[in-house]
Chains A and B, each alone.
Chain A
């Protein structure tokens, strides 16, 4: 298992286009990927889950993955969030 904390910094948050970019990226990996916000866990590969999470600008989230490509998956998602989704 590999995990990392990251702060959402883009204005939109994990919503609309960024949310679907995030989910599409997560689906490129075979590992199980979970995003935690507060005490709640969400499936990174589920658009409904990520939208429900509603992470906004300034929110702290944890991305953790378990599986063959766990490290690559977490790193890829982290840099996507840190790139502010091109906003």
Chain B
């Protein structure tokens, strides 16, 4: 069994189609009539442009605008005067064939780009390679990556998948894909989730470990991959897969239904997102809002801070995409374990207790103000709410709100429009805040409980430390008591209380949270329908009784067992 990073949920069982990046052997040929050879090159270029235009159109229709932009970059390369000139002069001066000239020139560019330590340049190197392969394939009459017409269903295994690959892919025949490189946010992972095809990425050695036609089973949640497994394992996964699919079908039926309990308690089921692209998954799963927009992705994988305009565009796209439904934008949560290459922060002994999130923003106010301006401007285009992360004291909250007020004042002075009634809330993820939530509730419009950190801070368990991972437990009675306290205190001041940690999507805890009266649940988009299905079958009155019993249990084990026995 191999293990990678689960990138898109679901079980895939099927035959492998190994897509090896064929190292196209290019012969160097002497050409007498270089004029004709240059014509050949220009014809290939025209064909490539047509293909790219078609891919652009297809991607725009089936996937989305952001993905389609990649092909605009490809077109720019095909129109690049340096690129064209160098290839033409190479053909002319060396009297060689177009294929060889293309390869030589693109290799030189790729080398320059790859040698620069910069994510952006590496991506461009991949673009140049994609364009160059396309040109050479056209010249040699090779049909490119035939993922577009597969004979039978298959699991695609490859080093990586390029945007051209995924755009052309025949989605009805692809059971899933496994790639050697990549992480949860790499192109292929994002595509898999968007298309709802199971996928595992970052599997070292997979292209060597399998052959065409091998049977492979993988679990896109856990990232486990079995190659030619025993019958018992195949049977086991077939059953899991069948159950999973039946369940997904049933979930389809409750699209458009209200998220309400049998006795009329209505909640909002929202999605967590990191980029505007994730929006599609929220909409497809019938999310009723965005409960957590993690803006840090805008700041990652680049070499300088995103400017106001860039941020504004991203926030606006999400606000407009949700079409009036609520979008909670969390201000920058960086520092600690999440680093930025262009922000030099000293290494810390306890990053989770360190210089991060709102602490950093209140110190480097220029970064904070740029983001607040962008959020406020975008609020004119939808239903945006602002949320501050990692607040630990009333002073910090007041300071953040003061900066926000000054920013609003400045915008008004400039005559820039924004939502004057924009709601301002905060994460409740530090026990100090949960304990004082009665007073915090008087100063914000909403709470959102961040359970991942609340568990780790409440129980003093580093959630990255494998050795003590058994102590990190969402059923810990202390956590449940704190959550109840926060919800009760919020309701006393008539503010709504949401949750945006993993617990919000946990089927075992959702009933308890319903009993406590949680108003908003924000989770991975793919969990939304399941949560709705569950909630529609609950009675809040019964769950309230459960809560009274659960919070008086002494151990996490007993809490879990009680839920298992009493709530189906």
Contacts and interface: CB of A to CB of B under 8 A. Distances in A.
Contact of A46 (B82, B116, B120, B124): B82
Most buried by A among B112, B121, B128, B304: B304
B109 A52 contact: yes
Contacts, number: 41
Contacts of B565: none
B303 interface: yes
A48 interface: yes
Nearest to B309: A86
Interface in A18-44: 20, 23, 43
B81 A11 contact: no
Interface string B325-367: 0000000000000000000000000000000000000000000
B83 interface: yes
Contact of B83 (A15, A16, A20, A48): A48
Given A12-B303, A16-B302, A52 B81 contact: no
B545 interface: no
A69 B305 CA distance: 35
Contacts of B77: 47-48
Interface residues of B, number: 22
Contacts of B128: 48
A17 B303 contact: no
Contacts of B81: 43, 45-46
A48 B109 contact: yes
A51 B309 CA distance: 22
A15 B303 contact: yes
A48 B303 CA distance: 18
B388 interface: no
Nearest to A26: B81
A54 interface: yes
Nearest to A52: B112
A84 B195 CA distance: 39
Interface of A: 11-12, 15-17, 20, 23, 43, 45-49, 51-52, 54, 86-87
Interface of B: 76-77, 80-83, 109, 112-113, 116, 118, 120-121, 124, 128, 302-305, 307, 309-310
8 contacts: A15-B118, A20-B76, A48-B109, A49-B80, A51-B113, A51-B121, A52-B112, A87-B307
